[in-house]
Amino acid sequence: MMWQGMDGWSWGWEMGIGWIFMLLFLVFVIVGVMALIRWLIGGSSGKESRALDILKERYAKAEITKEQFEHMKRDIQS
């Protein structure tokens, strides 16, 4: 005889909820690992290239001098 809960549905219901929570947990772990890897690999390079692009635009529009451009460029890349 197979054991069932008091209402006869308990065992199947608990197994279904368990699978759902396990899948949700795995999804959160995978998304977390992917976010961590993305942050570690591309965290600063994207911001650095965007800042350099803005600096180049300002230099092209003659908003800053060549000396200012070189100084700011060194600051961004360091």
Domain locations in the chain?
A: 9-42, 44-78
Query: What is the predicted pLDDT for the residue at 1?
Result: 47
Residue 9 has pLDDT above 80, yes or no: no
For the entire predicted model, the pTM comes to 0.42
Radius of gyration of the chain (CA): 28
pLDDT given for residue 25 in this prediction: 95
Dmax (CA) for the chain in angstroms is 87
| pLDDT, mean of residues 4-23 | 68
DSSP state of 63: S
Q: How far is CA 59 from the centre of its chain?
A: 32
What number of other Cβ atoms are within 10 A of residue 67's Cβ?
Answer: 8
Query: pLDDT at position 18, please?
Result: 81
Given this model, what pLDDT does residue 76 score? 84
Give pLDDT tens digits for 20-78.
889 999 999 999 999 998 888 765 556 678 888 999 999 999 999 999 999 999 988 87
Other Cβ atoms within 10 Å of 78 Cβ, number: 5
* Angle, vertex CA 19, rays to CA 16 and CA 23, nearest 5: 145
